[in-house]
Amino acid sequence: MIAALSIMIFDENRIRASIIEEGLREAGHDKVVVLHDIVGLARQIEIIGPDVIVIDIETPNRDMLEHLFQLTRSVRKPIAMFVDRSDSSSIEAAVEAGVSAYIVDGLKKERVKPILDMAVSRFKAFSRLQQELAEARSALEERKIIDRAKGILMKSRSMSEDEAYSLLRQTAMNEKRKIADIAQSVVTAAALLGS
Amino acid sequence: MSFIRTGIDNGGLAAPATIASPGSRLVRAGFIPLVDAAILIAAVEFGFAAREGIQLSLIKDVSWANIRDRLAFRQFDVAHMLAPMPVAASLGLGSNPSPVIAPFILGRGGNAITLSLGLYRRMQTMADLSGKQDALVNARALKRVIEVRRNEGLDPITLGITYPFSSHNYELRYWLAAGGIDPDLDVKLVVVPPPMTSDALSAGVIDGFCVGAPWNMVAVSRGVGCIVAVKEDIWAPSPEKVIGMRPDWFEQNSETGSRLIVALDRAARWCDDGENRRELAQLLSDPNYLDVPFDLLHRVLLGQFTIDPDGAERTVPDYFNFHRDAANFPWVSQAQWIYSQMVRWSQVDYSPSLAGLAGAAFRPDLYRNAIGVRPDTPVNDTRVEGAGTADAFLDGAVFDPANITRYLQSLGSTKGDE
């Protein structure tokens, strides 16, 4: 029986790291270690001797790892992830997702690829979540600003809430702009005019 | 098809010898936001690339390992690289070696060594330094502090560099060794990303570092460090960053590659002109590039240093040499000097064939082909380094690329023995 691969995840983003960890555990990898802090990383690598290190490509700390591998004889010779250069689509996917990895030399590609694919897909899922969260936040902001604009119109023009909203919507349609933009103008104008 | 520039340079307006094909050629260039990316940035922002029919697209990155990999995997066509990176690649060193050639040097200078204020004050007390001493005296003073610390049972000091195959690594080691300090035994070297150096210094994670501009000045202006040596003290003509290209890319795009070299040559001359340094500082301070205050960058570009938080000043007129004295010429002998340092510090073994491979990473032939015959272009591709006063090494050693073994012996190293 082949020994289970030992996988180390280094990501300063704790949430993303735990998402990847969870994915790997679900896929049956139980030797997974997650590190968030560069302090002590070198020592952890020496102690654990991981077969695969997954690292966030946006951290400048990758250069620290390069130095460590160059210096330390006790660390088994790792190579950067893109071992199979013919597989350019998966290289692109990894770089786009923001993942890099180091793999102990000699490890069979078939054993590593599922791990990397998992990391890449989880990185992507995380970016998608972040994107959705950002969109949800901005929707919430828009909602708030529209409510404020409605309040201003209701007070200054003695309108009902429905009338105020209709006016905002009609103006937005006439000017081919978003309701939130019109609402923002109303709020800004009100602030300038001190009403 | 390549083109050759002929005749004397006539002020940047020379047309290429062949007619440009319509439409511009896209070149994707990776870079790290450092002052020595200036030539690339100026080539884009001041139209030097466009004038050669090149649409130069700059892509900012955060680590040299990323730069290396993204060049290897064709996400970049060319890249801003540390001069030792193409040499390391040609020797198969590092975790993803893939062939890279360097036909153009992006300048010489910009590095300095900074020590923590506490460490420097101890050196001052112990060696009676006034703050005006030269780099070698400072290194010897550091040696005394290291010896005393050892007797006190303290851990070795920790110094930061940027990358295992960097001018910073070799310059710091050169300076330490010249002062009698063994960089592998007497100190601990770690990699610290340059933007984090002054934080790491003030937090006490490191006791000093060797990095490029503007990070040394940043540490001094924050009151956490003192500059004890600059690159000019160690070896002034040392190549700092280069334009790295994949050899197969250049083969398939030789005209574009040559035009890029011409564009960089024009941009380099512009950056080098003292009158343009203010404008250059303004450009580099932009958040898209370095995002560092203009005043600091301007002073760095003029070589006006505050070396000590007390306000001690030093002016290094050639702190940034972007163009003068054939600064962009890729000397084969300098690639081989880099190799000699890799041998000296046990990154690779010595053999004449490896020395040949290392030298071939720098491509003066491609430089000549693009730039043409010009009075400021060196006649030879290789030379004895450090023989004159302008190019002297800190310790007075002379590097003859024809005899690397003897050179290493002169430095007290037996690593070059076959």
Q: What is the pLDDT of residues B103-117, one digit of tens each?
A: 999 999 899 999 999
* Residue A74 confidence (pLDDT): 52
CA distance B205 to chain A (A): 9
Degrees (nearest 5) of the Cα angle B412, B414, B418? Answer: 150
Q: Are strands B241-245 and B108-109 parallel, antiparallel or unpaired?
A: unpaired
Structure tokens at B18: 């062949």
Nearest by Cα to A8 from A28, A67, A29:
A29
Helix, strand, coil share of chain A (percent; to 5)? 60, 10, 30
CA distance A169 to chain B (A): 38
Residues linked to residue A52 through DSSP beta bridges, in sequence order? A7, A103
% of chain B beyond a pLDDT of 70: 94
Cβ-defined contact of B63 to A91 (cutoff 8 Å): no
pLDDT at B84 over 80: yes
Nearest by Cα to B280 from B264, B263, B300:
B300
Contact B35, B301 (CB under 8 A): yes
Predicted confidence (pLDDT) per residue in B352-399, tens digit: 999 999 999 999 999 999 999 899 999 999 999 999 888 999 999 999
> Looking at chain B, which residues constitute the CATH 3.40.190.10 domain(s)?
25-108+239-278+323-410, 112-235
This prediction has a pTM of 0.83
Predicted confidence (pLDDT) per residue in A111-155, tens digit: 777 887 888 888 888 878 888 888 888 888 899 999 999 999 999
CA distance B379 to chain A (A): 37
CA distance A27 to chain B (A): 28
Cβ-defined contact of B69 to A82 (cutoff 8 Å): yes
Whether the bond into B309 is cis, omega within 30 of 0: no
pLDDT at B12 over 50: no
Q: Taking the mean position of all CA atoms in its chain, how far away is CA B355?
A: 20
Q: How far apart are CA B43 and CA B265, in angstroms?
A: 9
SS3 sequence of A60-120: CCHHHHHHHHHHCCCCCCEEECCCCCCCHHHHHHHHHHCEEEEEECCCCHHHHHHHHHHHH
Confidence of residue B54 (pLDDT cuts 50, 70, 90): very high
CA distance A57 to chain B (A): 7
Cβ-defined contact of A65 to B163 (cutoff 8 Å): no
Range of weakest confidence among A151-155, B150-154, B311-315: B311-315
Q: Which fold has domain B25-108+239-278+323-410?
A: D-Maltodextrin-Binding Protein; domain 2 (3.40.190)
Confidence of residue B321 (pLDDT cuts 50, 70, 90): very high
* Residue A104 confidence (pLDDT): 75
Residue in A closest to B184 by C-alpha: A71
Confidence of residue B23 (pLDDT cuts 50, 70, 90): low
For an interface test with A, the pick among B95, B184, B187, B205 (most A C-beta atoms closer than 10 Å) comes out as B95
Q: Please report how many Cα atoms fall inside a 13 Å half-sphere around the Cα of residue B174, on the Cβ side.
A: 31
CA distance B61 to chain A (A): 8
Q: How far apart are CA B240 and CA B207, in angstroms?
A: 24
ipTM over 0.95: no
Q: Which residues of B touch A (CB under 8 A)?
A: 62-66, 69-70, 72-75, 93-96, 161-164, 189-193, 195-196, 205, 347
Instruction: Please state, rounded to an integer, the average pLDDT across all residues of chain A.
Output: 82
Q: Are strands B108-109 and B101-105 parallel, antiparallel or unpaired?
A: unpaired
Residue in A closest to B206 by C-alpha: A39
Q: Please report how many Cα atoms fall inside a 13 Å half-sphere around the Cα of residue A77, on the Cβ side.
A: 7
What domains can be seen in chain A, in order of their start residue?
A: 7-132 (3.40.190), 135-193 (1.10.10.10)
* Residue B256 confidence (pLDDT): 96
Cβ-defined contact of A63 to B69 (cutoff 8 Å): no
**Chain A CB contacts of B190 below 8 Å:** 64, 67
Confidence of residue A107 (pLDDT cuts 50, 70, 90): confident
Minimal Cβ distance to B95: which of A57, A79, A85:
A79
Structure tokens at B356: 């040949």
Q: How far apart are CA A139 and CA B149, in angstroms?
A: 60
Q: Which residues of A touch B (CB under 8 A)?
A: 39, 57-71, 78-80, 82, 85, 88, 91-92, 95, 100, 102
Q: Which helix (H) or strand (E) holds A54?
A: strand A52-56
* Residue A84 confidence (pLDDT): 55
Nearest by Cα to B157 from B207, B122, B120:
B207
Cβ-defined contact of A91 to B347 (cutoff 8 Å): no
Cβ-defined contact of B62 to A58 (cutoff 8 Å): yes
pLDDT at A108 over 80: no
* Residue B140 confidence (pLDDT): 96
B42, amino acid identity: A
Nearest by Cα to A78 from A17, A1, A10, A3:
A10
Measure the CA dihedral A103/A108/A114/A119, to 10°.
0
**Mean pLDDT (whole number) for B232-249:** 96
**Chain A CB contacts of B62 below 8 Å:** 58-60, 62
**Chain A CB contacts of B161 below 8 Å:** 67
Instruction: Please state, rounded to an integer, the average pLDDT across all residues of chain B.
Output: 91
Of residues A91 and B109, more confidently modeled = B109
Q: How far apart are CA B164 and CA B161, in angstroms?
A: 8
CA distance A35 to chain B (A): 18
pLDDT at B217 over 60: yes
Q: How far apart are CA A67 and CA A45, in angstroms?
A: 13
Of residues A195 and A124, more confidently modeled = A124
pLDDT at A90 over 80: no
Predicted confidence (pLDDT) per residue in B283-298, tens digit: 999 999 999 999 999 9
Cβ-defined contact of B163 to A71 (cutoff 8 Å): no
Contact A123, A97 (CB under 8 A): yes
In words, the CATH class of domain B112-235 is alpha beta
Minimal Cβ distance to B63: which of A60, A79, A88:
A60
Spell out a b/e string for B186-209, using b for 16 or more CB atoms within 10 Å of the CB, else e: bbebbbbbbbbbbebbbeebbbbb
State whether residue B157 is helix, strand or coil. strand
pLDDT at A52 over 80: yes
Most confident region among A14-18, A94-98, B199-203 by mean pLDDT = B199-203
Predicted confidence (pLDDT) per residue in B334-358, tens digit: 999 999 999 999 999 999 999 999 9
* Residue B46 confidence (pLDDT): 97
Spell out a b/e string for A108-120, using b for 16 or more CB atoms within 10 Å of the CB, else e: eeeebeebbebbb
* Residue A78 confidence (pLDDT): 64
**Chain B CB contacts of A59 below 8 Å:** 62-63
For an interface test with A, the pick among B191, B206, B345 (most A C-beta atoms closer than 10 Å) comes out as B191
Cβ-defined contact of B190 to A67 (cutoff 8 Å): yes
Q: How far apart are CA A87 and CA A121, in angstroms?
A: 16
Q: How far apart are CA A183 and CA A165, in angstroms?
A: 10
Contact A67, B190 (CB under 8 A): yes
For an interface test with A, the pick among B71, B73, B199 (most A C-beta atoms closer than 10 Å) comes out as B73
Q: How far apart are CA B263 and CA B257, in angstroms?
A: 10
